[in-house]
Structure 1
Amino acid sequence: MPEHLSTLQLVAAVFLTLAGVVWAIGVLRLLRRFRAQALRELAAARLPFLPAQRTGPLRESVELTPAEQDAFAGLIRQLGHR
């Protein structure tokens, strides 16, 4: 025990230190609780006025007639010779 401090001063210092630690633990617990709650609400909240986002372009396909298939095959043969 330091000689220049009274017992009352040491008790007050210990009390204030413990009170600060308890306060810090309480604040951290509140922040964690509210952060978890906010994350749950954010995940549950959707913006109904925005359309659903697609991940990429949709694949399109067109059925070709036999004449179009023959013309396409001829085009491929012409381009293949170059």
Structure 2
Amino acid sequence: MFQDVSIVQQIGVAGLALATAVWAVGLVRVMRRDRFGAESAEGWRQTQALRALPAQQGPPRAETVELTADERDAFAGLVRQFGDGRS
């Protein structure tokens, strides 16, 4: 083979080439299986979709906090302060 390349490097390149070929063949097989089995797999995908997530009954409930009069006044002051620079 090449005079300036060690046998270990040659084996490494051959191994990478082999791994790439195996990966490409596997990818083609998976893609073909998905394409040809799309009709039958569609029903399976619908039954398997999000099985691990809990069922949600509706939007999450809103959380409220009751503010004291002082807190409401402080919040109103902040709103006025930040609102002045927006015009």
TM-score using structure 1 length? 0.47
TM-score using structure 2 length? 0.44
Larger Rg: 1
**Structure with larger RCO (C-alpha < 8 A, sep 6+):** 2
